Structure formats: structure tokens, C-alpha cells
Amino acid sequence: MTKKVIITDITKTPNKENIPKTDGNYFNHFQEKTLKNIIKEDKDNIINSTIRILSNCVKSNFSDDSEESNTGIVIGKIQSGKTLSFTGVISLAIDNGYRIVFILAGTKKLLENQTYERIKKALSIKGEDELRFVGNEAQKDIEDALRYEKTIVIPILKHQKQISHYTQILNSQKIKNYLKKASVLIFDDEADQASLNTQERKNAKQGLNNESTIFKTINDLRKTIPNHSFIQYTATPQANLLISRLNTLSPEWHEVLRPGSKYTGGDIFFKNKEEYVREIIPELDPITNNYFPPETKHLKRPPKSLKNAIREFLVLASLKFKRDELNPNLKETPDWWKKSTMMIHPTHLVNDNKKEEKGIKKFYNWTENILKAIEDEIDDNDFRSFKVFYDEIKESIEPKKIFNIFPGFDEVMKILSGKIMSSCKSHQVIGGYLKKGEEFQWDIPNNHILVGGSILDRGFTVENLIMTYMPRDTKSKNQADTIEQRCRFYGYRSDYIDFCRVYITENMINDLKKYNKSENYLTEFLSKNSLEEFYNSGCKMLMDNNLIATNVQRLRDDLFSTRFKGWLRFEPQFEMDKYKKNNRTIDLFDNNILSALKPKEIFPKNPTDDNTHLLYKIDIEKISTLILKLEMNELTDQDRIFDLYSLFNKIRQSKKYCYFLKIAHKRKYRERTVYKNKGKYSVQLFTGRIGGEDRKMVVEKGVTTQNIPYDNEVVIQLHHIFSKIKDDPYNEEQFKTLAIYIPEKHAENYIRKYD
């Protein structure tokens, strides 16, 4: 394939080679009907991003035979409207003469059905005949669409047989002749799932060129289409962005979708108070000494946390029903009016396995048993088990004045025992749950409890979701893109967010909070910069040290981590005599900046010249400027400088000043042993008793005789060293270097790769 590189810079105009016409019937229908109830600002964002995406694609047709293709990526947050986005792009593509549109709709039939029904509903226009959907006679349908200049949409699963089937069809001479001058669009929904080559790591280590099955079949399909754009859609783009740029699925252009104003994602659930999140308290089995979660094999009965979640769901659904009923304006939103859903996502297993780990079927049976027990309680007019949840919810919701008068307990129980329980159905959502072409019936009944695993992991939208119970976790590090994809509770729920709750483990709460910071960092960078700038940064991402970015088997290149927490230091830059330049840089800083400040002399209880230091309080911006001027021999160290510079600028938004220490200022220098390993030099600054005291200066109380107020400031130490290196040309050289303390409050960890 011949690649056409287009760099998307959102500050500039779209690709001038392919500016689509925007006044066609299908795009107008999309704007007027599909986006009808969306506020103007959100609608404008969707329209503009749709135009930008198609403008970055290969143009729809050519006057002469052509071979032109490219790969792009569209990044949108979980449940934020990615399907809506590519539906809009398809509507615009129909008006602009694209004849074949493939949609690789994930790996699950449930998701494929959902995607197909949404697109068909959104794009079908009464009286218009430009659109076709592939039927049972696929080859004839495609040939007819090309012959009569219609657009045919082909949704398929990421299955080898399905993709290979269409590769064979497109290889027919009749279709090949058409495609020499016509372009195809291929949308890869959930593009980080299944599509990428899982052999990349092995290939790099063993010098192989193997391809995983789906990756190969996608490439085979693309090779049959001389002119096309491959458009990846995902909420978790880590793997797609980190694969080798030589990989055929490495994106050349990008678009970041902005969530709508009513979106409730990680910032709502995890950034601040976490008022909608419930920690699943681990339950200890005294016989096996195992905890649930994550262990399940010792469970003989439903866990207490599951019972609690189901009961709280029923109370919340009752209150939401009452709120909806009291507000006649809400009848205008029938999709969620008086409707509620709970999702139970306990494991990836369907059946209990040989290790006695419990599967979805077991949790489904437990759910049925819990509901039966609740029915028995209702028959006995016993509502005591609901009181604690009612009281907690009342305490949370009543101050928000959602109700003029908060419904009493008896009134809520009447709704629960009548309207809610009578229209509540539980579902075991596993493979084969829905037949081909069958949709999930959200409207019948009004309330649902879904118990499922991997089918509920990705893409599938759980409508009217107010309660999530997800005890899934791992004993080791969580994989960032995997846990984020399980956040089906994100979405457009602002109209009823106060009735939403999420039950997850403490570890998962912490990891999702960390991932949310990482996601915000990446989307902000990609919203402001080109993809080329991202690649030039080494694909730098903010990623907590306790998270694994993605499945590294899909990555050819190693990932390097830079952690800013606690003490870090810069090694002597002897090679190329850069240490001399750094000495001069630090001397200029001392003479021009520090000399204008009034320092304070600090020392421990038994002062000597070796442990008496000068303390300055200085604007951290001055330190940012200093470190940016330091020269490093290694690319990794130079990148650490840039990362530290960015971190200091971020810290300065909440903490303007930092502490700066001139270590042992009464001495000309300190002697330190410098070590050399594989050509690289290193020095231990904090050795012995005095070094131990140096580490604690300022950041710990009681180390010095002076009272130094400390509140999570960054601390920088300037060390003047006289090197001792046996049998080395840099023995007895003087160099100046910095040690920097980053408090945990400001700690960050970056990853990047080096080709």
C-alpha cells in the first residue's frame, strides 16, 4: 500500500485535497434529525469534527487509476458518542460519493447488532435511495452499488472468516475495476481490540515477521482496496499510538472528539468527592483465609456487597421513578423516563472453572435468589433491609433540592414493591443471548439487571444505567486500557447522575483515578498538537507506575518510565565536557538570581561546615528556566529535563514557590566517589550520616534547629562535588549538580518509547 501522510493540526484548516461538500441530503438529515435534541454548542462540535475526519480521508473518486490510502485515529471518551461520530461521517460520505463503507464492529455479536441498528435508524431517509446495507448476496449487492453509484454499508465482526469473505469478494475482477478509481472507507470500531498485531514483541526479539490472525486478515482486506482510508475509533488509544510507525495500522492523522456538555465520565466519578462511588469492602473467609474480591472460589453464597448493591439499586430506581413522575417535562425524554438498569460485571468466566472460581452463571443464580428473597420480604411487609440505603441516599440527595419534599420511606417502599419489582427483569448476558439481528428490549420491562462479563466490557451501551457492581480486580498491576473499557457507567447521565452508584474495589478506585489523569493529559495534548509532535515527544504519556499502559505483546519498542516522586538527581555529565557548561549555567543562576535573594542559614543540632546550608525560597519558574538550560548526554536524561520542566509549570499553578538549598555553602566542595558502569557515570549524593540528614532537610520536621514551614513544596539542592574516580580522566574534577525532591502530592510518572 502507498501511504499518504497527512498531519492533522486542529489549529489549521483540514486537508485541502479533500474538502467535502456539506449541503447533501444525508448530512442535512443527520444534523436535523439525529442531532435534533442536542444543544447548539455540542451540535457544532459534532458537525465540525465530522467534516475534519472526512477531509483527512482519501478523496472519494479519481479521474485516473489510483493507489492512495491512509490510516487515521479518532479518540473519544468511553460512552461519549463515538458511534454517533462515525454515523455522521458516513452520512457525509454518502453525499460525497464514497461507494463502499466497512464497519468492523468489534468482536461480539451484541455490539455488531447494536451498531447496525443505530446506523440504520440514523441514516434511513424516507424517499431517498442512495444508501444500501449489505444483504445475503454480498457480492451482487456490492456490484450493484458500484454500478448504480449508491453507497453500501457493510457491518462485520472482527472474525477471520467474515473479513476474508469480503476480501475474496473484492478480489473479483468486476469490483477491482471499479475500485481503481473509487475509494473505500473502513471504520474500525474498538480499534485497540483484536485488530493489532499481538506478535510484535516476539517479532522484535526473535527477528521474525509473524502476524496475528485478525491483523493479517485486515491487512489482506486493505491490500485488495487500492484507494481507502482506515479510520480507527477508540476510547483507549494507548496501543494504537505506541505501535511502531512502520506498522500498517499506525495512524497518520487524528481527531479528538469533545464530549457533550451532559457527559459524565471520569471527572465526575473520580476527580473530586467520589460521591457516586461505593467501595466494595473485602469479605474474609475464615476457613480459607481468602478475600472476596478478588478471590471467588471460596464463595458458597452471594457476597454481602452484591446483596447491598441490588437493594440500593431498587431504592434508587424507586426514587428516580418518583422524580420522573413529578416532573412532566421529563416526558420529553422517553429513552430514560421512569427506567433504570443495573449492571453486574463480576468475572470473565461464564461457568465455574476447575479451580472453583465462580462464573457469570453462578452470579446470575445468586442475583435471582436475592430478588426472590426480596419478594418474600415484600410479601411479609418487611422493608427493614432497605432502610439503611434509604437513609444514606436521602442524606446525599435531599440537600440538592431535587424534590420539593423528599419522599418518605413508606412512599418509596410502595413504589419499590409495586412499580419497580413488577417491571424488573434479570438477564444472563453471555454469548448467544440475542439471536442474529435481534435488539435488546430496553423498553420491556422498564427495569433490568444485566449479569455479564466480556460482552459488557467494550462498546456495548447499557441504557438507563444507574447501578454498577464490578468486583473484578487483579492481584498485580491493572492494565490501563482494559480497566477503562469496563467503565460502562460513564456516559450521558447528567440528568439523573444523583441516582447513579458504582460498586468497585479500593484498588480499582485508585487505579481509575490515576487513569483519569492520564486520559486527560493525553487528550489535552492531542487536542492542541499534531500527531507528528506527539511522535516527536516519544509518544509521551502520563501513566502511573502502578498501571500497565497496554498489552506490550503488541508493541515492538520498549517503553521507558520516568518517575517524579521523592528524590531524584542528575548525574555528572562528563562526556563531551558538558559538566563544564552546566557549571557555568549554575554559576550564572547563583550570581544573577540567588544573589538578589535573602537566604537563611540552616543546620542540624551539631553544625559543621559540611552540614550547614543556605536556604532560599524562590519562584519555581526560576528553577524551570534553570533546568531547561542544563545539557545532558543521554536522550533519556534530556527528556527527563523536559518532563520536569512541564511538571514544574503544572505545580506552579497551585504552589508558586519552592525551596532551594546550597548544600555545605561554607565549603568549597564535597568529595564524593563517582562510579562508572558501561561508560556512564553516577554519584551517590546522600551517603553516610550527613547524607541522610541532607535527604531530610526541610521536608521533615526536627532535622534542623530552625523552624521551617513546609507544605508540599518542591525542594532543590545544589551540590558542589569534587570527583574521586580511580584510573579515570575525570578524577579530581569539580562539577555542580542538582538533587530535587518531588512530594507525593505532585508526583507523576511518564512513559515514552524510543525507536
Q: 44-74 pLDDT, tens per residue? A: 999 999 999 999 999 999 999 999 999 999 9
Percentage of residues in the chain having pLDDT higher than 90: 83
pLDDT of residue 3: 35
The answer on pLDDT for 461 being more than 90 is no
pLDDT of residue 7: 33
The answer on pLDDT for 9 being more than 50 is no
pLDDT of residue 297: 85
- Confidence at 2, pLDDT banded by 50, 70, 90: very low
Does the CA dihedral 314-315-318-323 come out positive or negative? negative
The pLDDT tens digits for 588-644 are 999 999 999 999 999 998 899 999 999 999 999 999 999 999 999 999 999 999 999
What's at 701, amino acid-wise?
Answer: K
Name the more confident of 328 and 175. Answer: 175
Q: How far apart are CA 27 and CA 192, in angstroms?
A: 28
- Confidence at 695, pLDDT banded by 50, 70, 90: very high
- Confidence at 112, pLDDT banded by 50, 70, 90: confident
Segments in 543-634 forming alpha helices (H): 578-592, 620-629
pTM strictly above 0.85: yes
pLDDT of residue 12: 41
Q: How far apart are CA 652 and CA 534, in angstroms?
A: 24
- What DSSP line would sit under 270-298, residue for residue? HSS--TTEEE---EEETTTTEEETT--TT
pLDDT of residue 272: 76
The answer on pLDDT for 728 being more than 70 is yes
| Cell 476457613 found at | 287
The answer on pLDDT for 475 being more than 80 is no
- Confidence at 6, pLDDT banded by 50, 70, 90: very low
| Cβ-based neighbours of 743, under 8 Å, separated by 6 or more | 699, 712, 713, 714
**Orientation angle between helical segments 384-397 and 304-326, nearest 10 degrees:** 60
Percentage of residues in the chain having pLDDT higher than 70: 96
Q: How far apart are CA 228 and CA 167, in angstroms?
A: 14
| CA-derived radius of gyration, the chain | 30
The CATH 3.40.50.300 portion of the chain extends over 29-256
Say if residue 334 is preceded by a cis peptide, omega within 30 of 0: no
Name the more confident of 136 and 9. Answer: 136
Q: Are 632 and 571 in contact (CB under 8 A)?
A: no
pLDDT of residue 355: 79
Mean pLDDT on 161-167:
97
Average pLDDT of the chain is 93
Q: If one looks up domain 29-256 in CATH, what number appears?
A: 3.40.50.300
The answer on pLDDT for 127 being more than 80 is yes
- Cell numbers at 351, concatenated: 461457568
- Confidence at 330, pLDDT banded by 50, 70, 90: low
Say if residue 445 is preceded by a cis peptide, omega within 30 of 0: yes
The pLDDT tens digits for 256-302 are 999 999 999 999 999 877 899 999 999 998 888 889 998 888 898 99
Q: 653's torsion region: left (phi>0), alpha (psi -120 to 50) or beta?
A: alpha
Q: How far apart are CA 622 and CA 641, in angstroms?
A: 14
Task: Give SS3 for 24.
Answer: coil
- What DSSP line would sit under 649-712, residue for residue? HHHHTT--EEEEEETTTTSS-EEEEEEEETTEEEE-SS-HHHHHHHHHTTTSTTSSSS----SS
Q: How far apart are CA 160 and CA 156, in angstroms?
A: 10
- Confidence at 434, pLDDT banded by 50, 70, 90: low
Q: How far apart are CA 54 and CA 89, in angstroms?
A: 6
CB atoms within 10 A of CB 510: 15
pLDDT of residue 15: 58
The answer on pLDDT for 318 being more than 70 is yes
pLDDT of residue 8: 38
| Cell 468486583 found at | 471
Mean pLDDT on 504-518:
96
| Cell 473502513 found at | 186
The pLDDT tens digits for 539-596 are 999 999 999 999 999 999 999 999 999 999 999 999 899 999 999 999 999 999 999 9
- Confidence at 379, pLDDT banded by 50, 70, 90: very high
Mean pLDDT on 86-111:
92
pLDDT of residue 10: 37
The pLDDT tens digits for 346-369 are 998 988 888 778 899 999 999 999
What's the distance, CA 713 to chain centroid?
Answer: 30
Mean pLDDT on 413-426:
97
- Cell numbers at 439, concatenated: 435488539
pLDDT of residue 332: 64
Segments in 300-340 forming alpha helices (H): 304-326
The answer on pLDDT for 392 being more than 80 is yes
Q: Are 575 and 674 in contact (CB under 8 A)?
A: no
pLDDT of residue 643: 95
